[in-house]
Amino acid sequence: MRAITFYKTILDDTPVLDFLDSLNAKQAQKVTWVMQLIEELKVVPQQYLKKLKNTDDIWEIRVIYKGNIFRILEF
């Protein structure tokens, strides 16, 4: 299993949590559902998680909800 840990700034801010707080309830629910899939599944479908080309180790979490695409970078 994977564990997702959110980045914290030196001022103790967490940009991903701030982003999630900016979404409406349904959008935030879908994003957290995808993150839970990533943590629990051994093989995650590429529609949710994929390594970005020409990078050393940068991954993209991708969530589509009602025509909106939310992307979160993962290292």
- Please tell me the distance from the alpha carbon of residue 57 to that of residue 74, in angstroms, as a whole number: 8
Band (40; pLDDT cuts 50, 70, 90): very high
pLDDT at residue 1 is higher than 90: no
User: pTM for the whole thing?
Assistant: 0.89
- Which stretches within 1-75 are classed as H helix? 15-22, 25-40
- Please tell me the distance from the alpha carbon of residue 61 to that of residue 12, in angstroms, as a whole number: 23
Per-residue confidence (pLDDT) for residue 32, from 0 to 100 = 97
57-66 contact pairs (CB < 8 A, 24+): 61/34, 61/35, 63/30, 63/31, 63/34, 65/26, 65/27, 65/30, 65/31
Per-residue confidence (pLDDT) for residue 2, from 0 to 100 = 86
- Please tell me the distance from the alpha carbon of residue 17 to that of residue 46, in angstroms, as a whole number: 23
